[in-house]
Structure 1
Amino acid sequence: MVKIVKAQFHTAGKLYDFGAGELDLKPGDKIIVETERGRSIATVVTPPREYEDAHIPEGLKTAIRIAEQSDLASAARNAAREKEAHAFCLRKIKERGMEMKLVKVEYLFDGSKAIFYFTADGRVDFRELVKDLAHQFHTRIEMRQIGVRDESKMIGGIGICGRELCCSSFLRDFEPVSVKMAKEQNLALNPTKISGQCGRLLCCLGYEYETYCSLKKCLPKCGKLVKCGNSEGEVIKQNVIEGTVLVKTEDDRIVELKGEDIKPEDISEKPKIPRREGGPRERDKEPRGSGDSERREKEKPRDRDQKAGADGEQRRERDSGKNREQQRSDRGGRDRRGGKGRDKEKKEPK
């Protein structure tokens, strides 16, 4: 049997398993543990529980000791260094005009590395910035890009409900959220009302989604015809919380019925009105089509005549142009021949 406790490194952070060993631990205690990044300080969340050897997770590490005053003082010094590094990095980002937003700086417990968390729309070349930070703080530097939801979790704040953000207070993992969840709960699809501080859909939309889906199964859908007692009509609205529906009867009365009083056999589909053959729509379409075809037939010979007339005019213009060119060439030839004869007559007397 092995005693295991669950601990977190940040508020509402991911839970990690550590062996308690011989330590007497309780929730809220600060402990020093060994991690892949080195030693770190963590907070116990659950009391020790005994597990059989077959159920022990692989790679389980044991807590080293309960944090002492010197360890807490070292954590406080790291917090002060984080503020200094945050201010220096912001100044360098502005000087270089880099398109990135610095969110948080974290120092490892032993001070061997500083991690800078930032957000950006695309890839950022921060090689020169890393050189400035390493030269200033003389430690290893890691730049880590995060998303907008992780940014809100790190910064925290107050939501539209007036309470602290769920992600920064108790929500450890982000679950997928869709607009369908808002529709099922009859919420207004206004982006300003269903979006959180991060700009994404509210995480709390998923808290009651399954409950609404299960309650809606007990109610007839809108548009169905129901019969309950002396009331019979069409469902026009559902009240999921109270478990009732509003029914509009044939005499335009609005009646509220309980879902538990409506039996499944009393729910039916609204009959569809069949379309008549040869109705006014079809009669209107026929003369239009026939008239259009007649107009097309009438226009066709006229168009052919116009095309034929246009082609004849083009031919006549080409023929007249050829005749004019031939006349000019004939005149030029006669002039040249006449010139040669005059030259001969002039040479003969000599």
Structure 2
Amino acid sequence: MGCTSCATGANGQPKGCKNNGTCGTDGCNKLTVFDWLSNMSLPGNQEPFSAVEVRFKNGRKHFYQNPDKLSLSIGDTVATEASPGHDIGMVTLTGELVRVQMKKKKEPINIEALPKIYRKATQKDIDVWQKCRDREADIQKRSREIAIRLGLKMKLSDIEFQGDGSKAIFYYTADERVDFRQLIKEFARTFNTRIEMKQIGLRQEAARLGGIGSCGRELCCSTWLTDFRSVNTSAARYQQLSLNPQKLAGQCGKLKCCLNYELDTYLEALEEFPKTDVKLKTEKGNAYCQKTDIFKGLMWFVYEKDGMNWHTLKVEKVNEIIALNKKGKTVASLEEFIEDVSVSNEKLFSDAVGQDSLTRFDKPKRSKSSRRKKSKRSRNKQGNKSNTKNTAKKSSNSKGGNSNKKRRPKQKPKNNA
């Protein structure tokens, strides 16, 4: 969060700025720019730069002139010039930093050639703009159905209405050229507005739609990345990454832009490493490289006749051997230059955050022997229970039989005489 109004409130709950997705200081918006010149005053006898940067839906930005010298600040909603009609956008940058942005984007600094800002948006302008924005989801669904019915091989990814509702821009991606003349007629007849089609690339589509990357954060192209540099598979090779397209590709289906972030550092570190196809000449035979470790500065070599035993050498030692070989000298063996790598007993990873195992909810698998023991125990318990029940029944029957019998009086013995 970029502003203090998004801080934590009472009882640890988020405070929130109550702007319904529009940050008052423009610190939480998409592709925002920090105005580091806002607290600095201009030198004397210099007028402020009258151009303004305005943002529209999904990070689309343009520069406009302020001919009426309106007092604009970051976050103001303004009505800008468009063809035809006007458009509604939000001011994202003012002052001298706009000049810097125009130089960065290689746009000519000619204020008079820029489109104009008419006024600050009124409540009526905002209501019309909001109604048009509410129609976009339904129109996008219906437009896709029309494109499928016409059999066009294209994907309509996003729709953007102009602020006054006089025009709708349809953004689409396609692998081949698409003849959408009939499609435009269908759209104009169905939606009763002016239609404009714009083809964008897969990276631009991901930037407009947004999402969460494999790192767990929002996509760089939809938050702060403004230019798309070409990414090659050589960037993954230099960084010794596995050439797995499922891991290297982003949500756009292309190689991830973050592969270029650390590429310069890797290239600088690889300048000290010799080429992997260089063979080391020794009296035991030639040795070739099997593996390199850029972080530790180590290389592993094996003899041609003994490929199972790997020898660990530092980069400095390898360069020394190569220099001797260039002079026509051969070293005795690689064992003289082996670097002893000590492995520390420290844990490489400690559970500092208190993370649990992923299989904590899974029931552990029991072996066959434990199952057999458990079955024997259950059988023995059942047998013991049945024996105790039988003995209890017998005892109760014996006691009950004696109690139920009537006591007969003792008969006196008869005298025979």
| Residues 112 and 13 (structure 1), Cα distance of their counterparts in 2 relative to 1, 3 Å cut | closer
For residue 186 of structure 1, report the CA deviation from its aligned partner.
1.0
Of the candidates 80, 83, 99, which is equivalent to residue 33 of structure 1? 80
For residue 157 of structure 1, report the CA deviation from its aligned partner.
2.0
| Residues 215 and 27 (structure 1), Cα distance of their counterparts in 2 relative to 1, 3 Å cut | farther
Q: Does 1:107 align with 2:161?
A: yes
Q: Distance in 2 between matches of 1:264 and 1:57?
A: 58
Higher helix share: 1
Q: Does 1:194 align with 2:241?
A: no
Per the normalisation by structure 2, the TM-score is 0.53
Q: For the Cα contact (< 8 Å) 2:59–2:222, is it kept in 1?
A: yes
Of the candidates 46, 57, 63, which is equivalent to residue 16 of structure 1? 63
Q: For the Cα contact (< 8 Å) 2:291–2:301, is it kept in 1?
A: no
Residue identity (%) = 37
Unaligned runs of 5+ in 1: 227-232, 275-350
Q: For the Cα contact (< 8 Å) 1:223–1:270, is it kept in 2?
A: no
Q: Does 1:205 align with 2:259?
A: yes
Of the candidates 63, 74, 96, which is equivalent to residue 49 of structure 1? 96
| Residues 149 and 30 (structure 1), Cα distance of their counterparts in 2 relative to 1, 3 Å cut | same
Counterparts of 1:199-238 in structure 2 under 5 Å? 199-222=253-276, 237-238=291-292
SS at match of 1:128: helix
Q: Which moved more, 1:59-68 or 1:210-219?
A: 59-68
Q: For the Cα contact (< 8 Å) 2:290–2:302, is it kept in 1?
A: no
Q: Does 1:157 align with 2:204?
A: no
| Residues 86 and 215 (structure 1), Cα distance of their counterparts in 2 relative to 1, 3 Å cut | same
For residue 6 of structure 1, report the CA deviation from its aligned partner.
2.9
For residue 19 of structure 1, report the CA deviation from its aligned partner.
4.3
| Residues 264 and 64 (structure 1), Cα distance of their counterparts in 2 relative to 1, 3 Å cut | farther
For residue 189 of structure 1, report the CA deviation from its aligned partner.
1.0
**Number of paired residues?**
261
Per the normalisation by structure 1, the TM-score is 0.62
Letter in 1 for 2:110: P
For residue 136 of structure 1, report the CA deviation from its aligned partner.
2.3
SS at match of 1:268: helix
Q: Deviations over 1:231-286 (max 9, x none)?
A: xx98754433x3522455999675574x6xx49973625849x9xxxxxxxxxxxx
Q: Deviations over 1:155-208 (max 9, x none)?
A: 222222222222222222211111111111111111111112222111111122
Q: For the Cα contact (< 8 Å) 1:25–1:48, is it kept in 2?
A: no
| Residues 37 and 246 (structure 1), Cα distance of their counterparts in 2 relative to 1, 3 Å cut | farther
Letter in 1 for 2:88: I
Q: For the Cα contact (< 8 Å) 1:220–1:267, is it kept in 2?
A: no
Letter in 1 for 2:125: D
**RMSD, aligned CA:** 3.7
| Residues 43 and 220 (structure 1), Cα distance of their counterparts in 2 relative to 1, 3 Å cut | farther
Higher strand share: 1
Q: Deviations over 1:89-112 (max 9, x none)?
A: 122223333332221112111222
Q: Distance in 2 between matches of 1:145 and 1:16?
A: 22
Q: For the Cα contact (< 8 Å) 1:177–1:206, is it kept in 2?
A: yes
Give the equivalent residue in structure 2 for 1:143: 197
Counterparts of 1:288-327 in structure 2 under 5 Å? none
Q: Distance in 1 between matches of 2:269 and 2:92?
A: 35
For residue 37 of structure 1, report the CA deviation from its aligned partner.
5.5
Q: Does 1:168 align with 2:222?
A: yes
SS at match of 1:159: coil
Letter in 1 for 2:203: R
Letter in 2 for 1:29: D
Q: Does 1:244 align with 2:297?
A: yes
Q: For the Cα contact (< 8 Å) 1:18–1:62, is it kept in 2?
A: yes
SS at match of 1:45: strand
Give the equivalent residue in structure 2 for 1:70: 124
SS at match of 1:33: strand
Q: Which moved more, 1:187-196 or 1:69-78?
A: 69-78
SS at match of 1:64: strand
Letter in 1 for 2:147: I
| Residues 215 and 106 (structure 1), Cα distance of their counterparts in 2 relative to 1, 3 Å cut | same
Unaligned runs of 5+ in 2: 1-46, 101-107, 281-286, 329-417
